[in-house]
Amino acid sequence: MGSLKTRTLTKGLFLVAFCSLTMFFIYFCMRKGDMECPGASSHHYISGLMGPKYFNLISNETHPDYPPLNHHTNYSRDKFTIIMPTYGRSAQLLQILTHYCGISNVAKILVLWNNIGVPIPGPIKYFECQVPLKIKIMEENKLTSRFIPYPEIETEAIFAVDDDRMVDPVGMEKGFAAWKTFYHLIVGFSMRHFGMLENGQYKYCKRIDSYSMMLTNSAFLHRMYLKMFTESLPRSIYAFIDENMNGEDIAMNAMVADYLKKIDRPQCPCLWVEASTEEIHMKGQFVSLYGRGDHVKKRDECLNMIASEYKYMPLMPCKYVV
């Protein structure tokens, strides 16, 4: 009898170990695109948000064909608008809204309701927030909708954030302060990079020492970039994003880098802010787009399409950290 119990226990432990290893392998495969690129150096920290002359924004001179990101009296620079697309996460959305409703300097929260044909639940529809909150019902579930210059936006700064991402209040304050100094950049909390394979193709990846793009799952950017993205992004890239539900952040970073080059500014499109962030996953809620098996492959395709459309690779390595 004791021997039978021992064998049963052994089989049970083996099954648990096997399942754990299997889940780890699946997770590893899903996230392999975030593996670090080769090479190592160090970040350059910006002290007091003044930064090196490399980032100096004193001059308002710009290319005549490209409007400057100057302060516009019709839009506030003292606060920012949160744009948050949501899909399949009604339960955890309440937690996310509770968090951002308590963040300082928020002018308005604009939630893009991408649950097509699904009514807004009462707890969300009538959610009490310390700042104006609008749930905007979308006609289609598209990634590009997060970068539309909606008329509800009355600030120069936009904070683009996913409905599963929370940045702590200190990090938000630090990030917004950095954006007000470097308002021509995408100022964010999740950095990524790219490399080149031996065959000349570009590969999406992650490094610990430098970056060339900032994920827009939690990033500050200028409202004018929304207009540029909607109206001026090459149509093939725009279509690729909506067809594949992927690459909108890569395309935004590339567009900003290309814009900066055309107005004779340093081409690094973004600035990384070190802060505490948390990704929320509640049971029964939509997990994430990056969990799809072809997620990284599509991001590789997006990078190579960008290089083809722009006739060069706009993204440049960046090493500055706030």
Name, in order, each residue with C-beta under 8 angstroms of 132's C-beta and a sequence gap of 6 or more: 107, 108, 109
What is the DSSP secondary-structure string of 257-278?
A: HHHHHHTTS----EEE----EE
12 lies in some domain: no
Amino acid at 278: E
pLDDT value of position 36 = 53
Q: Give me the amino acid identity at 167.
A: V
Q: Which domain holds residue 158?
A: 30-51+76-321
Structure confidence at residue 157 (pLDDT): 96
Q: Is the residue at 23 inside a domain? A: no
Pairwise CA distance, residues 217 & 249, whole Å: 8
**124 within a domain of the structure (yes/no):** yes
Calculate ∠ Cα 136-110-57, nearest 5°: 140
Rounded-to-integer distance, Cα 137 and Cα 116, Å: 8
> Could you tell me if 315 and 269 are in contact, meaning their C-beta atoms sit under 8 angstroms apart?
yes
Q: What is the pLDDT of residue 206?
A: 79
pLDDT at site 200: 85
In the predicted model, residues of the chain with pLDDT beneath 70 are 1-68, 70-73, 280-294
Dihedral sign computed on CA atoms, order 192, 76, 172, 130: negative
Strands 133-137 and 155-161: unpaired
Q: What is the pLDDT, as a whole number, of residue 148?
A: 97
Task: Kindly report the pTM of this predicted structure.
Answer: 0.81
pLDDT (0 to 100) of residue 246: 95
Task: Evaluate whether residue 121 is within a structural domain.
Answer: yes
Which residues sit opposite 157 in a β-bridge?
A: 80, 222
d(CA 77, CA 91): 32
Q: What is the CATH number of the domain that holds 157?
A: 3.90.550.10
Per-residue DSSP letter, 54 = G
Is the residue at 11 inside a domain?
A: no
Helix (H) or strand (E) holding 133: strand 133-137
Structural domain includes residue 162: yes
pLDDT of residue 77: 87
Burial of 47 (0-12, 13-18, 19+ CB in 10 A): exposed
Q: Please, what sign has the CA dihedral across residues 200, 203, 208, 211?
A: positive
Please check whether residue 19 lies inside any domain of the structure: no
End-to-end CA distance of the chain: 64
Spatial CA neighbour of 148 closest among 190, 102, 110, 174: 110
| Residue 195 pLDDT | 85
- Domains identified in the chain, total number: 1
260-294 CB burial, b ≥16 within 10 A, e <16: bbebebbbbbbbbbebebeebeeeebbeeeeeeee
Q: What is the pLDDT of residue 90?
A: 86
Over residues 277-307, the pLDDT tens digits come to 888 654 444 455 555 556 789 999 999 999 9
pLDDT, position 261: 93
Is residue 16 one of the residues assigned to a domain? no
